[in-house]
Amino acid sequence: VQKAVTLSDIGKEVGLSVATVSQVLNGKSGRYSKVTRGRVIEVARNLNYKPNMAARSLKTQKTLTIGLVVPVLSMELDEVEEICASKGYTLSLAVSHNDPGRQHDKILELRQKHVDGIVLVHPRKDCKAVEQLRAEGYPLVISDVAVNYPEVDTFLIDLKGSIRVAVQHLVDLGHHRIASILSQSDSHYSQLRYKYWKEETVNRGFDSYEDWCFPLERMPYPVAKSIYHSSYQSARMFLERFEKDDPLRPTAIMAITDRVAMGAIKAFEEAGWRIPEDISIISAEATEMGRFCSTPLTSIEINHVKCRSEALIHLISLTSGEDKGSRPARRTFGLELVYGQSTSRPCFL
């Protein structure tokens, strides 16, 4: 454990006061002679001076740190860290596991550590902590999905659109008996998708959205993470209920993500059903994997990376006080249908 060099160390070395050294190093212009400036900077470098962030924070009330609260860590967050770093911020991480209590606590802890602002990735709804921070005017941005936070700046993916486009694709192919596999209770993200699914099917006059919605059984952290297996089980339920040659059975399934689609496909293949001949499966949320599994998935590409990056950039502009736009800021990002081979015209018409 090394003793760090301070402003006063530099001051001693060059025979100047701490104040002057500080001024020079912080680039306050015109407050020093060219020669001292040179000496100070040189000595600072030689001594390998690094400002003590704790002291600086105490004085400036800034930490140059951004808090990030996510339900779970993923590769899609790399970009966020990258942007933080490029702007001189450090990333303080908190994982909520979709647990409302955890989320609440993590947010408050981050605030207490005086991060300069917080990015919230699809938080659960009605979080007291969020409302509190907003009321305090604390820099805060929500990414991906936000419900019941009318006053908070939000950068959203088009969740409703993802369901709509998925269903529309199936309808375009001629399907009108469509089932789904999705979670109804896990995160708010999931609840929303269920809601949109319901609206979408009801609006189209389809039969029982409820009866044909196969829920994913999800266990809370840390018990189970296997979304694949949950989906596999849901598909088995489907198979227990419908015979392949039943002309009134669903001819297509909207799986809520690629992993859900894969878990389901496994069950169907085990039962001797072919994809897409016997049943079409579309995923409402694409991953790279979906393009490389045996039956490439037809799916909806959602640009999470872009959404979160923009959210972060906005947050940083907030903390820098360059908030030019009208409040609250709102923005929604687009989607793209990725054509795979897991969907085709229905087996029955």
Residue 78 binding a copy of itself, by CB under 8 A: yes
Residue 178 binding a copy of itself, by CB under 8 A: no
Cα torsion angle, 200, 205, 208, 214, sign: negative
Cα–Cα–Cα angle for 249, 251, 257, nearest 5°?
120
Strand order in the sheet with 178-182: 213-215, 178-182, 252-255, 280-283, 298-302, 335-338
19, 202, 219, 289: which one binds a copy of itself (CB under 8 A): 289
What three-state secondary structure class fits 338? Answer: strand
Q: Quote the CA–CA distance of 151 and 149 in Å, as a whole number.
A: 6
HEC sequence for 92-108:
EEEECCCCHHHHHHHHH
Residues within window 40-99 making contact with DNA, judged by CB under 7 A: 49-52, 55-56, 58-60
259 phi and psi angles, rounded to 5 deg: -65, -35
If the CB atoms of residues 99 and 199 are measured against a copy of itself, the closer one turns out to be: 99
228, 306, 332, 338: which one binds a copy of itself (CB under 8 A): 228
If the CB atoms of residues 53 and 171 are measured against a copy of itself, the closer one turns out to be: 53
Give the residue among 155, 128, 160, 134 at the shortest CA–CA distance from 144. Answer: 155
User: Per-residue x/- mask for a copy of itself, residues 39 to 68, rule CB under 8 A?
Assistant: -----------x-xxxx-xx----x-x--x
Residue 95 binding a copy of itself, by CB under 8 A: yes
Per CB under 8 A, which region of 6-14, 109-117, 181-189, 330-338 contacts a copy of itself? 109-117
Partner from DNA, a copy of itself, none binding residue 18, C-beta < 5-8 Å depending on class = DNA
Strand 153-157 relative to strand 280-283: parallel, antiparallel, unpaired? unpaired
Residue 131 binding a copy of itself, by CB under 8 A: no
Query: What residue ranges bind a copy of itself (CB under 8 A)?
Result: 1-2, 50, 52-55, 57-58, 63, 65, 68, 72-75, 77-79, 81-82, 85, 90-95, 97, 106, 109-110, 112-114, 136-138, 221-222, 225-226, 228-229, 232, 259, 262-263, 265-266, 269, 288-289, 291-295
